């Protein structure tokens, strides 16, 4: 097994060129130096970051959203999520905003589940994941270009859908698996 120290793995930027500067993504092409000193090119996308929330009811149901994802040309079932308004936005406030806008839910308890990096080879987006519990409900307020269907799925059923490949959204998979493990460690059931 080949173990190397971190310095021997680091790639260094020689130059960076912004190719496309969109409202959501920013595409760069960088000339770099590999750990062995040889030159290479890296194409990657910068993103402001995002939050995602797994809202869990007292009945151990998860509020999910179904929405059409244009890049994949299909409807996906996901936990509520959204991009940050800015790199400096407080992630907890963003999570609460997205949860309220998409589901109308307000949690008394919000637990950070960790940070998820979806496609680290080409995208610098980080998604902070949260578990929302002890929910109360108000009105939803989706963005103008957001068309959602809210569905309640028992956590046990959602876990099965993750395990059998029906749920293909990565952030949802990670949040469901972490939530199931948190409940197991608390000695709580995940439902039927």
What span, in angstroms and rounded, lies between the C-alpha atoms of 60 and 37? 53
List, in sequence order, every residue forming a beta bridge with 126; answer none if it has no partner. Answer: none
**What tokens appear for 10 in the block?**
């680091």
**What tokens appear for 66 in the block?**
């179904």
Q: State the Rg of the chain over Cα.
A: 19
Bridge-based pairing of strands 50-55 and 127-137 is parallel
Active site residue 188: no
What span, in angstroms and rounded, lies between the C-alpha atoms of 1 and 38? 23
Place of tokens 């469901």: 176
**What tokens appear for 121 in the block?**
């080879």
How many residues appear in the chain? 192
Of 101, 144, 149, 166, which is the active-site residue? 144
Region label for 184, one of left (φ > 0), alpha (ψ between -120 and 50) or beta (otherwise): alpha
Q: Which residues are catalytic?
A: 144
């Amino acid at each position: 097994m080949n173990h190397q120290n971190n310095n021997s793995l680091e790639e260094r930027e020689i130059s960076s060129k912004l190719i496309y500067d969109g409202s959501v993504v920013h595409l760069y092409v960088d000339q770099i130096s590999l750990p062995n000193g040889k030159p290479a090119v890296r194409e990657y996308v910068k993103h402001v970051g995002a939050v995602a929330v797994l809202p869990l009811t007292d009945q151990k149901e998860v509020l999910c959203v179904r929405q059409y994802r244009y890049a994949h040309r299909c409807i996906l079932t996901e936990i509520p999520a959204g991009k940050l308004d800015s790199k400096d936005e407080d992630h907890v406030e963003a999570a609460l905003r997205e949860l309220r806008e998409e589901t109308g839910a307000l949690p008394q308890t919000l637990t950070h589940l960790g940070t998820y990096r979806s496609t680290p080879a080409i995208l610098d987006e980080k998604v902070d994941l949260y578990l929302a519990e002890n929910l109360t409900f108000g009105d939803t307020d989706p963005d103008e270009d957001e068309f959602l269907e809210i569905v309640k799925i028992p956590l046990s059923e959602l876990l099965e859908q993750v395990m059998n490949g029906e749920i293909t959204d990565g952030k949802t998979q990670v949040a469901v698996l972490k939530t199931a493990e948190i409940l197991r460690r608390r000695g709580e059931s995940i439902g039927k």
